[in-house]
Structure formats: structure tokens, C-alpha cells
Structure 1
């Protein structure tokens, strides 16, 4: 009880002259909780309240009082504290916040509250996950923590989260906290933090900036005034303390509440009377205390007490009484006695209740720092070694021991190397690659045995891949140079090194890795795998010089494959992509795509990568089967989210799903998905292939929506960035050329697109379905060189017909019509519409219909024009192409027709009539037979099938597969036909 009262008195003294800060706490709690009991039923917002000041100024006491007041108002309180020597322990602060809450419940409750995030977040919050699992990327873990806190807050509102000494928080916890803090304004969650401004990191500074953005400022705790110091002196030493003595106490401590509290305790212990004649003795007392006062006080308690104090400083958050006694070399009874003496000496805080499970703590972080720094260097290293052994023996895991192993001197100890590697694996499983990298770098310095060194370098390279790809390359290159390197590890290093080069946009070097290593392959299967990888990375090179030769080699390999293992399937996928980009017949590309797909391709297979699965999906997309591509993209996105991969893989998934929606004409969804893909990509880093894929998709979408100025401004914002030397989909230079054309900058568009064409033809990539540079170049040439424009357009038509996709043929014919005059223009437009009606390209069909209607109006055929314009208007509105819809309305007005009220359903399933016709078409019935059976005119059958292709996302060839695929969202029973 005496200890408790002493602690309460200290807290009271450190809250002197803090009325303004306490009013701010009360105001924040009132905003969070309301003033009446009924207010708790309202959805209220929280925010961030921050207190800053040097050590000892009273931040901890103020946060403690905030906690007491929050509890009194019925709030759920979570609290944690940064540790000076625990900053290297990933998610140390996060675990302090949630482990007390999670420890009170079982696994079923943990899985309920975490839901699908359990396997991703559990290691970060200290829960055990069965099985080895994968390594989520840091963004996935941050998103999972967002989910956990949001759900916990909703279920236990109002919530107050108190974080002391945030300047010492581990980087992983701090990174999550600074990103999440802005959400507190929309949740019944108050975040209260305390930190020292002199120790601010960039992340803590971000919290300060966040507070200021919310219209407030951090509360800077000022030193006590002379009057406040005098009040403390008289309260402790008696009312007879004279003014001069009190004033000197203020001058000697600078008004620091902690220092004045400690000083008055020393004065009382020395029985020094608080009178002016004792000022020389006071100054001597302060001087000696600053020089060696704490160490002297500790030494007087005896060697055993010193060892125990050192053990607490070394163990930090793990300093439970049992572990502390073990590290100090004391029995538990001896340790308990020394703890009591250290508490009496105002060095340790009174132990918290918890049956010996709660860690021992210093009375103040300033004392902890001083004690740790006073441990002799050799002794400190030895105690960290003992702490590592004790922590492992207690079953706390290698990651908990890792921070102690990092403090030991390298001695070539295999035990240290083993546990540092284990710690790195635990950190990677928790989504903390930087912490894992630190452990592996230290293991490398131990050093490991010669035969183990390559494996450590490999693991170190893998740990740095997400954050430092250049470092990854260096480590993996070094690993390949190790003499004691087995064939299996050599192959694994080779694959990972190529990925590191490739994901950094260094495609030539990625391909060269396999050129150097394929001769070392120990089996035919390994050789085929390496050949496949080399072909893939060469295919991705934007500056590939030998594309035709590479295509011929790929064709020969694919024709002679007999097996259907993963290497064969990946090679088939490359063959499908090559066939599509080169403009070989669509049936060839689809055949190889189906062979590659088999029973599915994983996006998250560490050994094989996600590049070929994406290429296969893109083949279906450009072969007029966007619905099939969307199905694969959605599966890939779901797979990434399940594994917590929230970086480049997920960015590609969202962006390419948006690109599929763009090609299908769902422009609003395309824009939304592309922006989400860009947001995720930019979290990983700008100027990556994922970033530029999103840039190209978004510019193309804005052009189709008619927002040309917005597209120009967006493109200008990325003009200074360097394009990676990689094949991009869509091709960004081609998209920029299209934008120049849309902005009526025809000369600039012609120059840009001519260069794109030279590059594409040089690589044998002749398919206008893949890169429609010819279509835009023809339009750019039309005003100044109509003859050349017609030649370019005619060549595009020939290439499109050779490929055979109706959307490609229709778009090429439409372009040919725009650069043609006279009756041929009408014929070309009619043929373009006919082909586009047999494709799922809804926007391109709407555009062709409007142009066809406008051309018919100009030659005096208003009835036929009206039919095309009405259908074009409906399609434009459905697609979200506002500028095209406005042009269609203008053309209708010019034809003397009024735009009818349109009924547009963006998500409508097939009607019963459409379903019946689709089923017959899928069985191979020609339109004439369907017309005869249903009694509909053949023209109406074609129109209904056009709607089917748009809704289902395929052309006629892919209809059978899409009608039996439940994931496309088709109804079990068709909806009734509209009246």
C-alpha cells in the first residue's frame, strides 16, 4: 500500500500545471463518448491527441491519467510503450496492444474477429499459425491490422489506444500506426501518444503532422514554473522550505518534474534542511547525483542487486521475474528480495499484479537508459547471450531471442547462425522483411560455415527483394559465386535472381542469368525450365533485338513438347502470348492458352512467378474473350489477398482487370480499378511495370470517356518518369500517341506513333488487337497525307483479318472508313458494325454505330441513321462514354429526332430470350437456323447475340465455355423479357 501511495503521489506531482492538457484530454473523451449515456448509442468519431516533451517532463503521467479517465467513462483501453532496446523487434508495440486482449479468448474467437485475415495477421500479433504458411508482404499485414483494429473498435466502442514513448516504437508498428492514424477520425477510437521531440523519426514526425492536419497541434509540455517546483518541495520536505531553497531547486532541475521529484527524495534521504544556508550542500548533492549518483545508489545495494538491475535492462519487455532471475544468476527468492530493494531505492517500479507473468519495469525510462549504458561492454554482450539462451528455453521463439543475438560479438558459432536464420523466417512470416534482413546480415557476419554461406546469402537476398531489389541482386550474385553450392540451391538462386532483375525492369540481365546458367543444368527438366525462363524474360524486353529468332525457337520447342508438367505449360503460355502479339490466327493463340491453363495457374507460386498466368489471361482478353480473362484476374486477385500479397501482384491484378473492363466497354469500372491498381503500385514504388501499366490503362480510359484535358494533365504528371525497359500492356508510348491524336496534335501524334510502329514491327508484334498504333497513325496522317493514311489503315485491316478477332477487324475497318471518302466509307462502316456486333467490345461498337449513323444522316437516310444513332447512344450511356453520348444526341437532333428515354441496366443478366438464343449459338447453330426456329428476323437474332456477347464477355467461339461457368454471374434461371 505504501508503494502504491508513493506512486500516486509521484503521479500527482508530475501533473502539476497540466490543467490545459487535462482539459484537452477531457474534451477528446467527451467528443469520443458524448456527455450523456444515450450518446454511447451514436456513431461518434475519435482522433489523435499527442503530447511531446523531453524525458521526465510528465508525458507518461499524463497518459496514465488519460487512461484512468477513459476507464471511468467506460472506454475500452489498449496501451503499449516503445522500448529503447526493443526497436529491432518487429511488431513489438502491436503485440503489446493486442496480446492482453487476445490472451483472454481462444482460437475460435481469434478466427472470428480476424476472419480471412487470420493467417496473414496472426504472426504479427503473436498468435500461432499452424503450418509453415507463406510470407505476406508488409502492406498485406498493415491492411490486416487495419481490419483487426476497425472490427475491434466497432465491437468494443468507444476505444482509447494509448502509446507511450512512440519515438522508440519498432519501425513495423510505427509504419502501420502512421498510416492508420488518419482513420481514427471516422471511428470511435481515440489515439493518445507521447514522444520526445529530440528523438523524432520521420514516422513519428508524420503523426505530429497528422495531428496538425486535423486542426490541432501536439501539446508541448512545458517545464514547471518556480511556483510549481516550490509546491513540490514543500509538499515533500515540509512547509518550512524557504523561497531561496525552492528557487535553487527549480534552477538546478530546469523545472523538469521527474528531476525535481528525484531531487526532493534525495534531499529527504540526506536529511538536508530546505533552508538557504544549505544551498552549497544542495549544489554538491545535485552535482554528485549527475556524475555518478544512480550508479552509486545501485552499487550500495550490492552485487546481486546490480546484476538483477542489469538483467532487467537487457531483457526489457521479456523481464519477467523468472527470466530476470535466470539471466542474473539468482534464485527466484533471491531475485524477489533484490526487486524489493530496487523498488525501495526508486530504481524499479513496483511489480504489477499478474502472478509473476508481468515484466519488471524501471521507474522511469531515463533510469533504464542510464543503467543499460552503465553495464560494462563485455558484460553486456555476455548478458545478451545469456538472455538469448533463456528466452529460447522459455519457448518464446527465435525472433524474441534475435534482438539479443544481434548484440553479441561474431564468433563463428553455428548455434547463433541457426537461430538468427530461424528468427529471420519468423519475421518474414510476420510480414517484417526488414527485421528478417537484419538477422540474416548478422548471421553472415558470424560467419556461417562455408557450406552454409550460400544458403544464408540466398535467404538474405529473398528477404530484401520487396524493399531493396538492388541489394537482392548483390546478395544473390554473391551466392552464385560461392564454391560450396549444391545444384538445387544454385537453381533456386538463379530463378530468384532473374525475378529480382525482372521486377526491377532489368529484363536483359534477367535473361542473361539463364543464358549463363542453362549449361549447368543437371537434368532435361531443369534445362527446359531455364530455357522457358530465358525466353520469357527476353520476350519482356522492350529493346529485344532478336525477337523473330526467339519466336522461331519458341515455336519449335512448343511443337515438340510431349509432357504437360509446369515447365511445359509455362512454355505453352509463352507460345500463346507470342502467337497473339505476332498476329497468328486466333485459334492458334487460344489453343496454346488452353493447354497452358490446364486446371489453373497460380499467381503466388514463389518458384514459378505470376508472369505467365498473367500472359495467358491477356491472350484470352485480346482474343475476344474478356470475360474469361476477368475470371482469371479475379481468381488471381483473390489468391493474392488470401496470402496477404498487397504489392505488385495485386496492383497488376486490379489494373489488368480494369484494362479488361476497358476493352469490354465498362469505362466507369475500368477507371475505378485502374486507380486502385495505381494506388497499390505506388505503395511499392513508382516507375515499376505495375505503375506504368496503371498509367497506360487510366489514360486510355479517360480518352474513351472523352475527358481529354484530364488525361493530358494526368499524363503530364508522369512525363518526367523513366519508363522501364519492359514490354507493357497497354504499350504506354502508343497510348501517349493516342492521347496526342485525341488532343488534335496530329504532327506530334504522327511522330510518336511512327516510332512505336517501327519498334513493334521490328519485334514482329504485328497484331492491331494487341497494339493498335496503326489505327491511330492513320487518323493522324489523314489531314496531311490521306494516301498514306489509307495505306496504313488497309494494312491494319489485313493484319486484323489474319488474326481473326471480330473486335480487331471491326476497329480496323472503322479506322479505314474514317480515312476514306465516298460510298466506300458507308460500306466500311457497315462492315465494321457487323464485326463489332459479333464481339464483346461494347464501346467500340457504340463508337462505330454513332459514326455510321452520322454518315447515313449526311447522305440523306434519316431512318437508317436514327436506328444506328439510337443504338450508339444507348451503348455510349451504358459504357459511361459521356462525350460520345453527347455527340450521338447532337447527331439525333441534327437528324430531326429526339433522344428517347433510355433504359440502361449496367448489370442486367441475360433475358430468357437472350439465354435461349445464346444456348443455340453455343451449340453451333448459324443465325439463319436460330431465326427460323425462333421466328425472329435474322437481323434481330444478330442484335440479341451482340447483347449476349457484351454481357457475357466473349465472342461466339467462347460462348459455350462462358455459359457453363458459374463465376461469370449468369443467372440460374433467366430473367423475364422486358415488356
Structure 2
């Protein structure tokens, strides 16, 4: 009897459920599904059915499986689904493919986490582009073997899936599986995802499966035997195949029955485990087919005939015949783009037949053959890792490819370098150690990298590596936050006679950055100038660029913002490569900060958009800071809803430089102005993580304990302002401080504040600083005209909240001076500004103050923007709606609006919530009906 073929039986409820979800996704309401079950239970077959359904519904179909041998290869599972391989030529996939190959990785990213972020964002951009074109289905099988980065992509896709036309199906074994898969399940379910657990087939469906395989009913004895298979379709299929191979089945009265009559098949007999059944059946393969398949099984799920040909020394044509026989036998399947083992258990069973020593030899031979053929370094590294030992030839190869391997597969790189280092000759050991330090830095193992770098510097095995080693050691200290230790390393390096002039210049530049963050500003300025001189003398643009950048930072913190811009622009011109991982500089963000402080808000917004784009493209560590500055800008110019979206976007990013405390404080400040209450930080006593947090809490204390207590809480934000947050950057608190001082009956304190601000104003004037000085003087002197002048300056600066504050204070002063009509007009203007911001707490305070002075608002203030409906949308959200309705993807919208894709996604989520819609498709339809596309 010929071997039986696998068929799909049962699972009607699961199939119908997935078909309905696919239709839902095709209609624009995305959904995620996790399919679970034991090996052989039918997960892959169910996914095949889903794939057919999705193709019929017109979804872009992306299918693939994770491989157990590729768990250390970042993004390998998602790359399989996207169809990205060594020879990928699809222009849509070109950028992602290049990033996955590690192209220019060390010129882009600070560490593996940053590079992973860049790749993840690029993949999500790609999906967003596809969503704008039509519905997408992503089906990932064998997720229990998926690499962590691919699972993060699945998690991120699942987060906003309800907005998008997408079906995400992830199939995994019930157990054993890693914690990352469990975390993905929790993430998907928390956002409305479904879990489908495949149970064993019931007896009636087992009978149907047997009938379909045998083309007739099973007899009683055969049925009893199949009943011992636990309802596992693969088990039943393989068991029948083995019985057929053994000639143990025969037709008896129109039914297929066992013809064996042995004790083994007596009542209660339990068949061997599934793996043994598979092994036994595969024993009947012709030797040529079995040997080739065993070698292929050792190398992974995908069967690469060219690779097999190189390892086995057999022609590709001959192996193609082997593959055809294996496909016919149901062992391999042709996906249309490559050959794969039909079931992981089949591959595992075949690989298990190869002794460990033979497996290691096969991997060594494969590594050598692939190296000679110029294959991808990560594939070669997988074979080297699976082999035993590292010989001299492999060591030389490892030294040559360490950088691209580190960028592509950092875990593999570190393990191989560590394996090669102990037995390497002295000359090779020095280079291996250097590469290992770089790989550890890339992986984020900074403490281990520092220990190894210190040992290497102390040993001094290779003088030619000394400068680079010391540079890496300074980097490791810096990245651990040990700036003083980093500075000590730099100072010691500068005493070494072997450094080149270029190396000296770069060390001086790096020293300037460390000194700046240690608030040793004069020393930082001197080191920066030495770096600039070295760059000019040697022609090294990096020396000049990092020196000018550090010099610009010192000018900015001194308050000389115009000159800081000039010098920073020189740094721009020198650092043509953009944000670099080992220079710790970002002139993009510094430019945005300077423009923001100069009240050049429109220019600052464009500069910060460029900073966000540059850091996002390169994986720069300054990305959260750029978002934080943009959020601060949006707070100042009154776009508070947009500021909250920016804060939400930044809060999800890797926070290497400690921006999170600023973001939380800013969000608290907006919440308090809108009437919420924030509690003091837990366990901090009188300490606050940032002056924004202290400020928000002080405004709460004002309403609870009075202005005097609020003043005492907020005053340290000004009195102790120094270092990286000097008074020049903290003066915004003075408006509230002066008001609180006067409310507490202490005009002298308000006068002292006014004189402090005058000292800042003497050095450099611009509207918001001039307005703050006038406000403080006006409060101290009870001068309504000065307060009205402050309001005019704040309007010029574009700060509506502060303009409202000035009008509020002027109204109270005018009321005391018996000018009720003018007081009422000033109050109306204050309430108008507060109403536009939804600053309910400020409006309530202003009305209470003026009511006590005998003045009430003259006309009804502007109606507050509603919380729901089209009128609830901000101007930014209205633009996003118009662009969504015109068919643009999130990346396209981001490019047009100078935002990040994440920010656009957050805006879309906010819009859907306000409009009580559930998908972009619904949004586009409703917007078109309202004429939003034309209006936009």
C-alpha cells in the first residue's frame, strides 16, 4: 500500500471563527489570534486553511515560521514571514532587508537595543504602508521558537491592530515555550485578541480522518488502535502510514483492518511516542533520500538545495530529485518560494538520528563551504556555533566579520568571540578582545565590556590597539553613567605618546562632553576648543564637530543662545554623517532647544521634527529628549492635547538619558491646570525628580493649603536652579512664584524675583523673558499697566497660558484700583485663554479672585471644547483626519506633518476615541461624508 497523505478533518468551529475574523480584518477592524496546541494537533494545517481564506478575501498574505536554530538571530521569524532572504530584491523590502543585514549599523546605532528599535520601526512603517493599500494577514507558525525581536514586532502590531485592516495569527505549542511567548499572549489578549486552543479530535472526527486517509472505514481493531493516539491528527496520520508501510492493513468486508495478530496489539496496548513512530516510518526511505534529508534536518526547517550541494558534494540536480521524492512522501512541502519540512516533528526526528559528533562535523563543513561561497555572516556563524571548537581559520574569519556579525546577531557574536578568545595566539587575541568589547557594548553589557577593556588596557598586548581600546573603555564608562571614570580614562589616554593628533582631538572632544554633564563648564569649554583646534589642524571633521557641539552646549547653558546656534550650526556642517553612536552628540536636538528658548517656536518645531527623524533613523539615544522638548513647546504654545500625545510617544522609548521624569512632570502639570490632583512622589520626602513635578504638586497644594505653603514648595525650583538646569532655563516658574508670593502677602519676595529675572534679561532679551520680568515687577508693585504689557509680550512669544495669567493678575489689580470695566475686560481675556486650553483650574481661580474683588465676567466665556464628537478634535487631529481620509499611511502623514509615525498613531487612537469609531476605515468613510478630505 502507498504511503498515506495528510488531510484536514474537523476543526469546523475554529475554521469558521477564523474565517469570520479574517472577514472582519478585511473590513478594516483588525484582530489578533493566538492558536495553541500540542505538537501534531493541527496548528499548521489550520493556518494553511486560514491562508486560503485570506487569499480569497483579498488580503496581502504574509506567512512564515520560526526556527529553533534561529532563536539567536534577531528578527529571523518576522523576516521569514516577510520573505526577506539573502537575495531579496523586492524594492518595498529593500530598507528593512538592508537593516537586517546590518548595513552601516555601527554608523547608526548606539547599541543593539537602538538598532532593534530602528528595525522594528522600519518594519512597522512597512506594514503601515501596506495598510493604506489594503488588508494584510500575517500568519506566524511555531512561535515557541521565535526570536525576541520578532515577538516584539508582533506585540507592537497587536497594540494598534483594532485601527488597521489586519489579521495577525500566531501559532505556538502549548508547552514548553518561553516566557516571551506568554508575554505576547497576555499583550494580545489584553487588547481584545482571541485565543484558540486546539483540543484532541473527538472519536467521530478520528473516524472521519481515518476514512479520508484510507479511502474507506476503519475496522474495529484498527479503530481501537487509533483511539490510543489521543486524537492527535499527525499521530494518527503517521501511525497509519507506518502500518501501511509494514503491510499491516488489509481490506476486510469493505473496511480497512489490522492483519497483525500479535500480543503487542492486544487490548490496552499503547503505541510508541509520536517521534518514534515518525523515526520508524522514515527508516523505509531510500538511503540516498534519507541521508540528504538528515543533513538538511540538522541545518533547519528550510531546505536549501545549494547549501546541501556544497556540504554533501552532490549535484543540485540530484538533490532536486531527492527533494521531489520527499515532497511526494509528505515529508517536505513546497511553499512556492522554498522547500520546508512539513512538520517540525519530522525534522526533529530526522536530526535526532544524526549523532552529535556527526552533527558538529556537518556544521563545520557547512561553515567552510558557505564562507567560500560568500554567504551571509549570520548563517555561517550559526554553523560555527553548532560545531565544536574554533580553529585558526575560523578565528581569522571571526575577526574579519565581527562588526557585521555583531550588528546582525549580537548574541552569536559575543558567544563566538568568547569561545575563540581563550585559545587564540597573542596577535589574534588582541583583535578578538577589541571586537568582543565592541560586541558587548552593542549588546548593552556595559559592565562586562568595561571589565574586559580595563584588563586589555592593563595588559597592553597590542600597542597598535591601545588608542582604540582606551576610546572603548571611555565609552563603556560613559554608557554606565560613570562620567568621572570616563574622564579619568580620557586624561590617561592623553598622556600616552602613541596617540595620533586625530585621536587626541577626539579625546578632547569627548572630554568636553563629559565635563559639560559634570557641570564643569569652563573646563568643558577649554577642552572643546582644543578639539576644534585639533580638527582644524588635522582636517578631521569629527574633531571639529564634537568640539563645536560641546562648545555650543556651554554657550546655551550660559544663556548666550544666539551664539550657541551659530557654533552649533558649525558642528552641523562638520558632522555630515549625522548622529553617530560613538560621539555622543546631537546638534539637531540642541538646535531645537536653542530656538525654543529664543521663542522662535515655529523654527524650533521644525528643528525638533528633524531631530526626531534623525534619531529615529539612526537609533540615537537623544530621541526621547527631542520628543520631550517638542512636548514642552506644545505645552507653551497651548497645544496641550498634542503635548500629551507627544509625551505618550516619548514615554514608550528606550530612556537612556533620563527623560522620563520630565515627561511625567509635564503630564502632571497639564493635568493640574485641567483640574486634576497629583500626589507627591512616593518615598521622596521633600525631594522631587524634576522641577515640573514639584511645580505640579505646588499648584495642588495652593488649593489645599493656601498660597504660602505652595510658594515654599515651589521656591526651591528657582532658588536651587543650577548646573544643567540653570535659572535661564527654569525662569518659567517665576510667573506662578510671584503670584503665590503676592497672594501670601509677601510682595518683597515678588520684588526679589523680579530683580533675579532682570539679571537674566540684562544679558539677552526676548519676548517671554521680558514678559516674565514685567509680570514679576507688576505683581510686586501692583502695577496693572505693567501686567497688561506682560500679557502683550506673552502674546508675542506665543504663550497663551502665561498671557492668561498676566490678564488675570491685571484684572485683580484694576479691580483694586477701582477700574471695574477694564478689570472685567481683562478677566474676559484671561478666561478666553484658559477656555481654549481647557485650563479649568486656572479659570476657576481667576473667577474666584475677581469675584472677591467685586468683578464678574462681562460676557459668557468661550464654550469649552467637548470631549467627544468632531468638535472635540484639535487642529492637529483635524489635519490627521484629512490625510487619513485621503488614503495616506501613517508614515506618509508623519512626513507631511513633521511628526513621527508613533505620534501619528497616537493621534489616530485619540481621534477614534473621540469619535467613538473603531478603525481607520470607518474614520475615512465618515470624514469623506463630511467633506473633510476637500476641507483638508
Q: Work out whether the TM-score is over 0.5.
A: yes
Distance 2:28 2:798 in 1: 47
For the structure 1 residues 304 and 538, does the alpha-carbon distance in structure 2 shift closer, same or farther, using more than 3 Å as the test? same
Query: What's the secondary structure of 1:51's corresponding residue?
Result: strand
Superposition TM-score, scaled by structure 2 size = 0.77
Q: Which residue is 2:626 aligned to?
A: 653
**Aligned mate of 1:352, from 319, 329, 334:** 334
For the structure 1 residues 774 and 458, does the alpha-carbon distance in structure 2 shift closer, same or farther, using more than 3 Å as the test? same
For the structure 1 residues 143 and 353, does the alpha-carbon distance in structure 2 shift closer, same or farther, using more than 3 Å as the test? closer
For the 8 Å contact 1:678–1:694, the answer to whether it is kept is: yes
**Aligned mate of 1:598, from 570, 573, 580:** 570
Q: Which residue is 1:413 aligned to?
A: 392
Q: Which residue is 1:709 aligned to?
A: 676
**Aligned mate of 1:694, from 663, 666, 670:** 663
For the structure 1 residues 123 and 693, does the alpha-carbon distance in structure 2 shift closer, same or farther, using more than 3 Å as the test? same
For the structure 1 residues 278 and 413, does the alpha-carbon distance in structure 2 shift closer, same or farther, using more than 3 Å as the test? same
Q: Which residue is 1:640 aligned to?
A: 615
**Offset from partner CA, 1:698-756 (integer Å, 9 cap, x none):** 334445xx22525x15x7589799998xxx7x676566656655765667656655655
Distance 1:67 1:260 in 2: 24
Distance 2:53 2:595 in 1: 61
State the 1:312 CA deviation: 0.9
Q: Which residue is 1:968 aligned to?
A: none
Query: What's the secondary structure of 2:461's corresponding residue?
Result: coil
After superposition, residues 215-364 of structure 1 pair within 5 angstroms as 217-230=194-207, 232=209, 242-251=219-228, 253-272=229-248, 274=257, 278=261, 280-282=263-265, 304-332=288-316, 334-336=318-320, 338-339=322-323, 348-349=331-332, 352=334, 358-359=338-339, 361-364=340-343
**Aligned mate of 2:859, from 898, 902, 915:** 898
Distance 1:318 1:177 in 2: 22
After superposition, residues 553-952 of structure 1 pair within 5 angstroms as 567=543, 570-571=546-547, 573-582=549-558, 588-598=560-570, 600=572, 604-611=579-586, 614-615=589-590, 617-641=592-616, 643-645=617-619, 648-679=621-652, 681=653, 684-685=654-655, 688-703=657-672, 706-710=673-677, 712=678, 716=681, 740=701, 744=705, 749=710, 752-753=713-714, 756=717, 759-760=720-721, 767-771=727-731, 786=746, 789-790=749-750, 792-806=752-766, 807-818=768-779, 820=780, 824-826=782-784, 829=787, 832-833=790-791, 836=794, 839-865=797-823, 868-869=826-827, 871-873=829-831, 875-876=833-834, 881-884=839-842, 891=850, 894=855, 897-898=858-859
**Aligned mate of 2:186, from 209, 216, 227:** 209
Query: What's the secondary structure of 2:33's corresponding residue?
Result: strand
For the 8 Å contact 1:862–1:895, the answer to whether it is kept is: no
Query: What's the secondary structure of 2:727's corresponding residue?
Result: coil
After superposition, residues 343-492 of structure 1 pair within 5 angstroms as 348-349=331-332, 352=334, 358-359=338-339, 361-416=340-395, 418-419=397-398, 422=401, 425=404, 428=407, 437=414, 441=418, 444=421, 447=424, 449-465=428-444, 468-474=445-451, 476-478=453-455, 480-481=457-458, 483-485=460-462, 490-492=466-468
For the structure 1 residues 651 and 719, does the alpha-carbon distance in structure 2 shift closer, same or farther, using more than 3 Å as the test? farther
For the structure 1 residues 520 and 162, does the alpha-carbon distance in structure 2 shift closer, same or farther, using more than 3 Å as the test? same
**Aligned mate of 2:126, from 145, 148, 162:** 148
**Offset from partner CA, 1:881-939 (integer Å, 9 cap, x none):** 4544566677599267336879999999xxxxxxxxxxxxxxxxxxxxxxxxxxxxxxx
State the 1:690 CA deviation: 2.2
**Offset from partner CA, 1:251-283 (integer Å, 9 cap, x none):** 2x2232212222222223333364598252337
More displaced 10-residue stretch of structure 1: 751-760 or 48-57: 751-760
For the structure 1 residues 785 and 434, does the alpha-carbon distance in structure 2 shift closer, same or farther, using more than 3 Å as the test? farther
Query: What's the secondary structure of 2:572's corresponding residue?
Result: coil
Is 2:170 the partner of 1:193? yes
After superposition, residues 50-199 of structure 1 pair within 5 angstroms as 50-99=34-83, 110=91, 113=92, 119=95, 121-123=96-98, 134-135=108-109, 137-155=115-133, 157-199=134-176
User: Using CA pairs below 8 Å that are at least 6 residues apart, which structure has the higher relative contact order?
Assistant: 2
Query: What's the secondary structure of 1:608's corresponding residue?
Result: coil
For the 8 Å contact 1:230–1:243, the answer to whether it is kept is: no
Distance 1:230 1:310 in 2: 33
For the structure 1 residues 864 and 499, does the alpha-carbon distance in structure 2 shift closer, same or farther, using more than 3 Å as the test? farther
More displaced 10-residue stretch of structure 1: 43-52 or 238-247: 238-247
Distance 2:504 2:491 in 1: 11
State the 1:452 CA deviation: 0.9
For the 8 Å contact 2:838–2:864, the answer to whether it is kept is: no
Distance 1:510 1:230 in 2: 72
Query: What's the secondary structure of 1:11's corresponding residue?
Result: coil
Which structure has the greater CA radius of gyration?
Answer: 1
Distance 2:383 2:451 in 1: 27
Query: What's the secondary structure of 2:156's corresponding residue?
Result: helix
For the 8 Å contact 1:384–1:407, the answer to whether it is kept is: yes
For the structure 1 residues 555 and 480, does the alpha-carbon distance in structure 2 shift closer, same or farther, using more than 3 Å as the test? closer
Q: Which residue is 2:7 aligned to?
A: 11
State the 1:62 CA deviation: 2.0
For the 8 Å contact 2:75–2:149, the answer to whether it is kept is: yes
**Offset from partner CA, 1:834-862 (integer Å, 9 cap, x none):** 76566554433332132113211221123
Query: What's the secondary structure of 1:676's corresponding residue?
Result: helix
Gaps of 5+ in 2: 250-256, 866-872, 877-936
State the 1:214 CA deviation: 6.0
For the 8 Å contact 2:549–2:585, the answer to whether it is kept is: no
For the structure 1 residues 812 and 240, does the alpha-carbon distance in structure 2 shift closer, same or farther, using more than 3 Å as the test? closer
Query: What's the secondary structure of 2:341's corresponding residue?
Result: coil
Distance 2:857 2:331 in 1: 91
For the 8 Å contact 2:608–2:629, the answer to whether it is kept is: yes
Distance 2:703 2:396 in 1: 61
For the structure 1 residues 531 and 102, does the alpha-carbon distance in structure 2 shift closer, same or farther, using more than 3 Å as the test? closer
Distance 1:595 1:700 in 2: 34
**Offset from partner CA, 1:100-149 (integer Å, 9 cap, x none):** 89989x66xx2xx46xxx53x233577x9799974572223222212322
Q: Which residue is 2:13 aligned to?
A: 20
State the 1:154 CA deviation: 4.2
Distance 1:179 1:76 in 2: 19
For the structure 1 residues 499 and 556, does the alpha-carbon distance in structure 2 shift closer, same or farther, using more than 3 Å as the test? closer
Distance 2:681 2:106 in 1: 46
Gaps of 5+ in 1: 34-42, 909-979
For the structure 1 residues 790 and 262, does the alpha-carbon distance in structure 2 shift closer, same or farther, using more than 3 Å as the test? closer
Is 2:510 the partner of 1:533? yes
Query: What's the secondary structure of 1:894's corresponding residue?
Result: coil
Distance 2:457 2:772 in 1: 50
For the 8 Å contact 2:651–2:660, the answer to whether it is kept is: yes
Distance 1:437 1:559 in 2: 36
RMSD, aligned α-carbons: 4.6
